[in-house]
Amino acid sequence: MKKTLIAGAALAAMLTGSIAIAQPAGGKMRGPDANQDGVITEAEVRAHARERFAKMDVNNDGKIDKADREARQAERFRKLDTDGNGQISQAEMTAAREAREAKRGERMAKRAEAGKGEPGARQGGKWRGKRAGGGEAMQRGMMRMDTNNDGAISLAEFEAAAVERFKRQDTNNDGQVTKAERNAAREAMKQRWQEKRANPAG
């Protein structure tokens, strides 16, 4: 049977969609909190930024630009195209979705075992881990790091943006961000986003 090709828009959504991230157990924080002591320091933020930059700089040329984005999309396409014929079929798309759902189920089960709520629980009508705005919003946020407007993000720019976020979250200026400060920053961002949605002209 001839394969049914997926429309470009659906494929683009598949390639750029956000990825759910498992939450750590207990009072631990994911991401920069390398020693898992419940607080984040500037040193941890800088180290985490350098690690993330290295992963995103696919061609190792010291910058994140269009070439890296295209390389990541090409790699995702290759993973979806399991038979290597240069096309994504409905069956391949379904298999990839089912694999993601199975992994998400495993993560949610682990969260439930750790006392982090029922598997599949929702917050505010949206699945936990799903970012507002999707891939486009993430891309806009990335390019705001390009402070010299050269179309690429250097390690210095990437690290500076991470430190700037850290300092905004460190509301008492003690050189570390606690879980409470991080949660407060998220809630403030969520509120700003909701206000913007309610009044887009403002």
Q: How many whole angstroms from its chain centre is CA 64?
A: 16
Q: Which residues of the chain are under the pLDDT cut of 70?
A: 1-30, 115-139, 201-202
> 64: buried, middle or exposed (CB in 10 Å: 19+, 13-18, 0-12)?
buried
Predicted pLDDT at 131? 45
Pick the closest to residue 19 from 114, 127, 94 (CA basis).
127
> How far is it, in rounded angstroms, from Cα 24 to Cα 20?
13
Q: pTM for the full model? A: 0.59
Predicted pLDDT at 69? 85
> 57: buried, middle or exposed (CB in 10 Å: 19+, 13-18, 0-12)?
buried
Predicted pLDDT at 46? 96
Predicted pLDDT at 123? 42
Phi (first) and psi of residue 27, to 5 degrees: -95, 10
Domain regions of the chain by residue span: 8-198
Secondary element (H or E) of residue 64: strand 63-64
